[in-house]
Amino acid sequence: MPRPRIWRYSVKTASFETLSESRAEVPVTFAGQELMLPEGANLAAALLAAGITTFRHTPTSGAPRAPFCMMGACFDCVVEVDGITRQACMLTVTEGLTISMPQEGADGS
């Protein structure tokens, strides 16, 4: 059975919009900022919907990066979750996550 969509991407506003308010929000921390995100939602999509547009910086130029493919192929959404380098698009939101930008050189490639 397919899961119901909870996000819609708007090309006009270049942002994610919540389609359903049915999920309970749980606290997570991103780069020292506490956020309330929908439990069980895709972590990358939830962070984008919360206004987080930079997930990491490239080690060579320092350019900001954010999710691109949303399927685990590009590694642009790499973050540190509870001290472990992970792809945000491959994770779901759970209560109490501590998320930070990866240290220099941890670009996922």
What number is the average pLDDT over the span 80-95? Answer: 95
- In the prediction, which pLDDT does 103 show? 80
pLDDT per position as a tens digit, 11-46: 555 566 665 656 799 999 999 999 999 999 999 999
Domain at 23-100: CATH code? 3.10.20.440
Q: How many residues in total does the chain contain?
A: 109
Question: Looking at residues 50-58, what average pLDDT do you find?
Answer: 94
Range of 14-18, 59-63, 76-80 with top mean pLDDT: 76-80
CA angle 6, 10, 12 (to 5 degrees): 165
Rounded-to-integer distance, Cα 82 and Cα 54, Å: 18
The residue extents of the domains of the chain are: 23-100
What is the arithmetic mean of pLDDT over 45-70? 94
Q: What's the pLDDT score for residue 86?
A: 96
